[in-house]
Amino acid sequence: MAPKYRFGKNTVLTAAPVIAFAADGSATKPGAAAFKVLCLHQEVSVGLENGTMDIENFCTGGRTVSVRDGTQSGTMDLGNTTWVEDDDVLKMFEDAAFSKTETGGYVWIQVCPLGIGSGKPVYDLLIDVRTWKITSPAKGAITVEHDLSVLEGPTRGTQAA
C-alpha cells in the first residue's frame, strides 16, 4: 500500500482585520468578503498545546504525575515572508502592528491546508500582531517577519459551500 501524504503547496491562508466585537468583548468573525489571501508565505505552522499541572498525592504513590488542567494555548508562525508593498494581508499585519489601540492588532486567520473548497479542513485563529520587522538585504528579496500571538484557536472545522 502506498503511503498517504499531502503537499503543503496547496495550503491557503486568508486573513481579515477584526473590526467588530460582541457585547461581552469577544471578537466577531469578519464576513467572507473581508478575507484576503496571503500568497507570499514560505510556510505556516499552526499548533495547540494543552496545559498541565503536577499532582503528587497518596494515589500516585508520592510520584509527580502531570495531568491536563483544561487550558489550551495556540501557536502560529509564518517564518520570514517575502514583502511586497501592495499585498493586502501583509499591509493588514503591518497596520495591526502599528495600531495604538487595544484591539487594533487583532486579525482573524483561516488556514486551509488542502486549499479552498467545500468540505475541506480549515483552522480558524484570532491573532494579535505583536511585532513587525522588515529586512532589506543587499542581495535578495525584502522579507518581513511577525511575532503573532494566538488569542483564540486554532479551532478546527470544515469549509462551507
Q: Could you tell me the residue ranges of all domains in the chain?
A: 8-49+75-158
pTM to 2 decimal places = 0.84
How distant is the alpha carbon of residue 153 from its chain centre?
A: 8
pLDDT per residue, tens digit, the chain (161 aa), is 888 888 878 889 999 999 888 888 889 999 989 999 987 567 888 999 999 999 888 887 788 888 889 988 999 998 888 898 899 999 999 999 999 887 778 999 999 999 999 999 999 999 999 999 999 999 999 999 999 999 998 999 999 87
Cell of 145: 517577519
DSSP state of 111: E
DSSP string, 43-109: --EEEEEEEEEEE-STTTTT--EEEEEEEEEEEEE--SEE--TT-HHHHHHHHHHH--STTTTEEEE
Give the HSE-up count for residue 131: Cα atoms under 13 Å, Cβ half-sphere: 7
- The confidence score (pLDDT) of residue 40 equals 59
Question: Residues 42, 17, 94, CA angle at the centre, nearest 5°?
Answer: 55
Q: Are 76 and 125 in contact (CB under 8 A)?
A: yes
